[in-house]
């Protein structure tokens, strides 16, 4: 084992946290449970007494800070350095408010470089929120969209080049890859385009935190030349929910971006970070690097077996070939299983409901046409059980409610842009019935969730197609529209007309 591998076999922060928990402290500070499981039995029942002992305040010597009298880095800094090394970053920051916090920080940092940035239109709503907070004006590059499957892919290098030519002086190019459906963009070519225009490439790689840790996985965005990467480590890499990382690339923009990101995170991050979430990031890094090869390979094998068994049966289509045919997709994440259930007579939303009711199978998301199942990098699944449950779903016949009453939910194009997002967000607005909102300027971000890609932004004109789509989504099983005034999208917030 190499020296690097030996270092990566350790989890210094998690190990220090365990050691601190075993020392039997009498706590007279926060958090208020003060490691007294007998007096907080309801909390203890959540995860056991060991968890309370590791829920410690920040600035604890020997954990967040070096031990008293010790020289060298703290366990926390060691964990951060190991994460940077594992992902090939110049520097890594741990986040305890998800990748959304990373997107907010990136937008705030970029605002110091310029008043506007070129951003993929299908970014997560946290990027839009970050731009509003930062006062960063957005110029959009549009991805390819498969409206029937309800899938937005990535941005092509040529499309990015066109928008950067049209918008000189941008702070950065900001893209998202892979998509919620596992479609991977050509990050290497996107980075080359961005750098030719003299701007850094920021990649929201929330769904690709495991990339690069197995030869059958796509390359990571950092390895392809990205300058700042937001990584939602909890999604497929195995850390606890709400934990994430922000990686600084090794390229020529690193020295420029590092102090800006550090300042932005100082502004946005909590002063009481969760030691439990931080330690889960440390452990996830160790497992991916040191234990992950065999386990990730097994995960990929399970996912591929699902595809093979589905192909043999022939009822449901694998959406992978259609996604790969898109001009902005160069690879697929094998740990995303995207099944076109509508091809087998079951709408995606209904398939999700049936799988939960009949087999207690929970999938990540559904559109009107597909379901998306996620296999964690290191998790296992029973492929035969999954495929049998899919084929046990009844086929819609011509007299069923599915066939006679169902109107397919088609992903609509976005409306025209009339105002800047921040300007519209803070403008005087009123709430009106949805029918009266058509043709007016939205004051809100509205996004069918999941995947959390905005269907209408502040400053965009509300169209009849968007209203119909959002209302249909809200009425579908598991449908939810983030940012809606009411659950059924019966009313919308629009700008007051002058």
Per-residue pLDDT band for 58 (boundaries 50, 70, 90) equals: confident
- Per-residue pLDDT band for 408 (boundaries 50, 70, 90) equals low
Determine the pLDDT at residue 486.
Answer: 95
User: For the purposes of burial, counting CB atoms within 10 Å of the CB of 392, is it exposed (0-12), middle (13-18) or buried (19 or more)?
Assistant: exposed
Let me know: does 246 contact 106? Beta carbons within 8 Å. yes
Mean pLDDT of 44-65: 88
Question: Does residue 485 share a domain with residue 460?
Answer: yes
Helix (H, G, I), strand (E, B) or coil at 234: helix
Question: In terms of Cα–Cα distance, which of 470, 492, 465, 466 is closest to 480?
Answer: 470
pLDDT category at 429 given cuts 50, 70, 90 is very high
- Looking up residue 255, the CATH number of its domain turns out to be 3.40.640.10
Q: Are residues 433 and 297 part of one domain?
A: no
Give per-residue pLDDT as tens, 147-172.
767 778 899 999 999 999 999 999 99
Residues 363 and 429 in one domain: no
- Give the best-scoring range by mean pLDDT among 90-99, 283-292, 447-456: 90-99
- Give domain status of residue 176, yes or no: yes
Distance separating alpha carbons of residues 128 and 227, to the nearest angstrom:
20
**Same domain for 372 and 246:** no
Angle at 404 between CA 403 and CA 405, to 5 degrees: 100
Closest among 299, 339, 336 to 319, alpha carbons compared:
339
| pLDDT confidence of residue 398 | 52
Assess whether 122 and 239 both reside in one domain. Answer: yes
CATH number of the CATH domain containing 479: 3.90.100.10
Residue 6: inside a domain: no
Kindly give the interhelix angle for 348-359 and 383-391, rounded to the nearest 10 degrees.
120
Is residue 60 a part of any domain in this protein? no
The answer to whether residue 363 is domain-embedded is yes
Q: Are residues 477 and 341 in the same domain?
A: no
pLDDT category of residue 94 using cuts at 50, 70 and 90: very high
For the chain, the residue count is 498
Same domain, yes or no, for 147 and 228? yes
Whether 403 has a pLDDT exceeding 60, the answer reads: no
**Are both 356 and 400 inside the same structural domain?**
yes
The answer to whether residues 273 and 366 belong to one domain is: no
Encoded tokens for 406: 């169902």
Average confidence (pLDDT) over 394-418: 69
- Considering the domain boundaries, does residue 67 fall inside one? no
pLDDT of residue 349: 87
**Boundary-marking domain end, from 405, 435, 468:** 405
Structural domain total, the chain: 3
Do the Cβ atoms of 191 and 219 come closer than 8 Å? no
Domain with 235, as residue range(s), is 77-283
pLDDT range class, residue 453, cuts 50, 70, 90: confident
- 273 and 338, same structural domain? no
Residues 234 and 182 in one domain: yes
Mean pLDDT of the chain: 92
Q: How far apart, in whole angstroms, are the C-alpha atoms of residue 38 and residue 51?
A: 13
Instruction: State residue 448's pLDDT score.
Output: 85
Confidence at residue 290, expressed as pLDDT on a 0 to 100 scale: 83
Reduce the DSSP state of residue 351 to 3 states and report it: helix
With the CA atoms of 434, 138, 129 and 481 taken in that order, what torsion angle do they form, in degrees rounded to the nearest 10? 30
Element (H, E) at 189: helix 187-196
**How does residue 405 score in pLDDT terms, banded at 50, 70 and 90?**
low
Q: What pLDDT does 367 receive?
A: 85
pLDDT value of residue 82 = 97
Whole-structure pTM value: 0.92
Least confident of 117-131, 146-160, 318-332, 366-380: 146-160
Calculate mean pLDDT across residues 421-441. Answer: 96
Where is the domain boundary, 283, 313, 343?
283
Paired tokens of 421? 């997002």
pLDDT of residue 182: 95
State the Cα–Cα distance between residues 363 and 306, nearest whole angstrom.
14
Q: Is the pLDDT of residue 471 over 80?
A: yes
**pLDDT cut 90: percent of the chain above it:** 73
Domain boundary among 378, 405, 432: 405
Indicate whether 22 belongs to any domain: no
Q: Are 389 and 358 in contact (CB under 8 A)?
A: yes
pLDDT at 268: 95
In 3D space, the residue among 309, 300, 306 whose CA is nearest the CA of residue 334 turns out to be 300
pLDDT-based confidence at 175, cuts 50/70/90?
A: very high
Reported confidence tier of residue 406, pLDDT bands at 50, 70, 90: low
Q: Are residues 136 and 223 in the same domain?
A: yes
CA angle 279, 281, 284 (to 5 degrees): 110
Over residues 410-421, the mean pLDDT reads: 88
Determine what percent of the chain is predicted with pLDDT higher than 70.
Answer: 96
Distances (CA, A) of 285 to 14, 55, 79: 11, 20, 9
Instruction: Please report, for the domain that includes residue 351, its CATH number.
Output: 3.90.1150.10
pLDDT at 400: 52
pLDDT of residue 201: 98
Average pLDDT (429-457) is 90
Angstrom distance (rounded) from CA 194 to CA 117: 11
pLDDT of residue 144: 84
- For 50, 450, 483, the CA distances from 474, given in Å and listed in that order, are 41, 11, 12
Kindly state whether residue 9 falls inside one of the protein's structural domains: no
pLDDT at 30: 86
CA distance 338 to 347: 13
Per the domain annotation, does 410 fall within a domain? Answer: no
């Amino acid at each position: 084992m190499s020296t690097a591998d030996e270092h990566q076999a350790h989890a210094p922060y998690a190990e220090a946290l365990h050691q601190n928990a075993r020392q039997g402290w009498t706590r007279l500070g926060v958090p208020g449970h003060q490691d007294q499981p007998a007096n907080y039995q309801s909390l203890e029942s959540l995860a056991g007494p060991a968890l309370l002992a590791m829920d410690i305040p920040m600035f604890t010597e020997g954990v967040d800070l070096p031990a008293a009298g010790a020289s060298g880095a703290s366990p926390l800094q060691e964990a951060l350095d190991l994460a940077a090394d594992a992902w090939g970053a110049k520097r890594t920051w741990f986040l305890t408010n998800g990748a959304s916090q990373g997107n907010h920080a990136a937008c705030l940092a970029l605002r110091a470089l310029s008043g506007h940035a070129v951003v993929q239109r299908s970014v997560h709503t946290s990027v839009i929120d970050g731009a509003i907070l930062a006062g960063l004006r957005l110029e959009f590059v549009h991805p390819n969209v498969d409206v029937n499957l309800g899938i937005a892919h990535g941005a092509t290098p040529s499309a990015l080049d066109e928008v950067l030519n049209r918008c000189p002086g941008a702070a950065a190019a900001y893209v998202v890859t892979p998509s919620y459906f596992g479609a991977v963009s050509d990050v290497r070519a996107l980075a080359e385009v961005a750098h030719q225009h003299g701007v850094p490439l920021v990649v929201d790689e929330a769904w690709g935190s495991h990339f690069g840790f197995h030869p059958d996985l796509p390359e990571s965005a950092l390895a392809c030349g990205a300058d700042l990467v937001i990584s939602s480590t909890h999604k497929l890499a195995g850390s606890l929910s709400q934990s994430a990382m922000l990686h600084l690339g090794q390229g020529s923009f690193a020295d420029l971006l590092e102090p800006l990101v550090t300042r932005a995170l100082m502004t946005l991050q909590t002063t009481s970070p969760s030691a439990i979430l931080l330690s889960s990031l440390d452990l996830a890094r160790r497992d991916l690097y040191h234990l992950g090869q065999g386990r990730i390979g097994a995960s990929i094998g399970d996912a591929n077996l699902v595809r093979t068994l589905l192909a043999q049966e022939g009822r449901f289509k694998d959406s992978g070939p259609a996604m790969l045919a898109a001009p902005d997709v160069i690879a697929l994440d094998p740990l995303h299983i995207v099944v076109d259930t509508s091809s087998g007579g079951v709408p995606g939303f209904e398939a999700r409901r049936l799988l939960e009711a009949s087999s207690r199978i929970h999938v990540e998301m559904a559109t009107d046409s597909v379901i998306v199942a996620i296999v964690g990098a290191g998790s296992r699944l029973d492929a035969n059980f999954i495929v049998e449950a899919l084929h046990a779903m009844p086929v819609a016949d011509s007299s069923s409610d599915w066939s006679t009453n169902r109107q397919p939910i088609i992903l609509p194009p976005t409306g025209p842009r009339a105002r800047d997002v921040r300007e519209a967000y803070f403008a005087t607005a009123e709430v009106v019935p949805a029918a009266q909102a058509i043709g007016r300027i939205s004051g809100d971000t509205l996004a069918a969730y999941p995947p959390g890609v905005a269907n209408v932004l502040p400053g965009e004109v509300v169209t009849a197609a968007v209203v119909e789509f959002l209302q249909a989504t809200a009425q579908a099983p598991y449908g939810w529209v983030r940012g809606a005034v009411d659950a059924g999208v019966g009313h919308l917030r629009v700008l007051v007309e002058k």
